[in-house]
C-alpha cells in the first residue's frame, strides 16, 4: 500500500515569511495532487502534477514534483494569513479512482 | 455550478439511533466516496463507489453502510451509531481517472453521545 508522509505536521509562522512543506512516498506516483482545507470546509484542489521534475506556480505557491516521482514539495513565498489551513497531498495512482491522502500539514500564518 | 452537497451539516444524536447522511453531486461523476476526518488521523476513506450499484469498502468501513442506486446520490448510513463514530464526515466525487480533480462536500459534523 502506498504510504504518504507529509512534513512538517505543524507550522506556525509570521506573515511575510517563506515556507516549504513536503510530501514523500515509498512508491512512485503516477500523479500527485495538493489540496488546501480551510477550517469548517472540505478540501479544495490546488494543483495536479504528473511529470517528474514538473514545476507549477499558483500565485505565491510553487509546486514541485521530484524527478523520480516519489516526492513533492509546496513552497509559499511571503505567506499571508489567508494561507492558513491544512495542506494535503494525495496520490492518484490507483486505477479505481481512489485517492490516498497524506496526514497533512497544518499551517498557521500570524498577522 | 459544479458541487457536492451533503446534509445535514451538523448532527447530534444518541447511541443506537439510526441515521443517514445524504450526499449528492451534479457532475455526472462515476466515482464517489465517504471519508471521516479525525485529529491526528487525517482523511480516512470509509466506503467508495465506482458506479451505480458498485460499492466497496475503504479503509475504515466498520459500522457504516452505503448505497448507490442513482449516479448522483451516495448516502452514508449508520445503523447503530456509537460514540467512536463522532467525527467530521466528507463526501467526495470525481471522474474515475488518476489525475482528475476530487470535489468535496462541505462536511457533516457528527456527535454521538
A110 burial (CB, 10 Å; 0-12 / 13-18 / 19+) is exposed
Residue-wise pLDDT tens digits, A44-92: 999 999 899 999 999 999 999 999 999 999 999 999 999 999 999 998 7
Residue-wise pLDDT tens digits, A80-106: 999 999 999 998 777 667 788 999 999
The answer to whether B53 and B73 are in contact (CB under 8 A) is: no
The answer to whether A9 and A103 are in contact (CB under 8 A) is: yes
**Lowest-confidence pick of A86-90, B71-75, B99-103:** B99-103
- Rounded Cα distance between A21 and A10, Å, is 10
- Rounded Cα distance between B44 and B13, Å, is 22
Distance (Å) from the C-alpha of residue B73 to the closest C-alpha of chain A? 17
**Does B99 sit within 8 Å of A90, measured CB to CB?**
no
pLDDT at B98: 67
Q: Whose CA is closest to B103, among B44, B35, B52? A: B35
pLDDT at A1: 54
Output the nine-digit C-alpha cell for B111.
456527535
pLDDT at A30: 84
Residues A3-24, mean pLDDT to the nearest whole number: 95
pLDDT at A98: 78
Confidence band for A11, pLDDT divided at 50, 70 and 90 = very high
- Rounded Cα distance between B107 and A74, Å, is 25
- Which residues, including other chains, have CB under 8 Å from residue B62's CB and lie 6 or more apart? none
Confidence band for A2, pLDDT divided at 50, 70 and 90 = low
Residue-wise pLDDT tens digits, B35-66: 999 988 889 999 999 999 999 999 899 999 99
Q: What is the mean pLDDT of chain B?
A: 94
Confidence band for B100, pLDDT divided at 50, 70 and 90 = confident
pLDDT at B39: 87
Output the nine-digit C-alpha cell for B67.
448505497
Chain A neighbors of B108, CB-CB under 8 A: none
**Does B99 sit within 8 Å of A31, measured CB to CB?**
yes
Pinpoint the alpha helices (H) of chain B: none
Determine the residue among B5, B25, B32, B43 to mutate to test chain A binding: the one whose Cβ has the most chain A Cβ atoms within 10 Å. B43
| B88 CB within 8 Å of a chain A CB | no
Strands A10-14 vs A105-110: parallel, antiparallel or unpaired: parallel
pLDDT greater than 80 at residue B99: no
Q: What is the four-CA torsion angle of B86, B91, B96, B100, rounded to 10 degrees?
A: -110
Output the nine-digit C-alpha cell for A104.
497533512
Pinpoint the alpha helices (H) of chain A: none
pLDDT at B96: 73
Residues B76-95, mean pLDDT to the nearest whole number: 96
Amino acid at each position: 500500500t502506498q504510504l504518504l508522509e507529509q512534513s512538517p505536521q505543524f507550522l506556525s509562522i509570521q506573515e511575510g515569511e517563506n515556507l516549504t512543506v513536503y510530501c514523500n512516498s515509498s512508491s512512485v506516483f503516477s500523479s500527485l495532487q495538493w489540496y488546501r482545507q480551510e477550517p469548517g470546509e472540505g478540501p479544495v484542489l490546488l494543483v495536479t502534477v504528473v511529470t517528474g521534475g514538473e514545476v507549477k506556480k499558483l500565485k505565491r505557491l510553487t509546486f514541485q514534483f521530484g524527478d523520480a516521482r516519489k516526492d513533492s514539495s509546496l513552497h509559499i513565498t511571503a505567506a499571508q494569513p489567508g494561507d492558513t489551513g491544512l495542506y494535503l497531498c494525495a496520490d492518484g495512482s490507483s486505477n479505481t479512482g481512489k485517492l490516498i491522502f497524506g496526514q497533512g500539514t497544518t499551517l498557521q500564518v500570524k498577522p | 455550478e459544479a458541487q457536492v452537497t451533503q446534509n445535514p451539516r451538523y448532527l447530534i444524536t444518541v447511541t443506537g439511533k439510526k441515521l443517514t447522511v445524504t450526499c449528492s453531486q451534479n457532475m455526472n461523476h462515476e466515482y464517489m466516496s465517504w471519508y471521516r476526518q479525525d485529529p491526528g488521523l487525517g482523511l480516512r476513506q470509509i466506503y467508495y463507489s465506482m458506479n451505480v450499484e458498485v460499492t466497496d469498502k475503504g479503509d475504515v468501513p466498520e459500522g457504516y453502510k452505503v448505497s448507490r442506486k442513482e449516479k448522483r446520490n451516495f448516502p452514508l448510513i449508520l445503523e447503530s451509531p456509537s460514540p467512536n463514530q463522532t467525527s467530521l464526515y466528507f463526501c467526495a466525487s470525481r471522474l474515475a481517472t488518476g489525475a482528475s480533480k476530487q470535489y468535496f462536500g462541505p462536511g457533516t459534523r457528527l456527535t454521538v453521545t
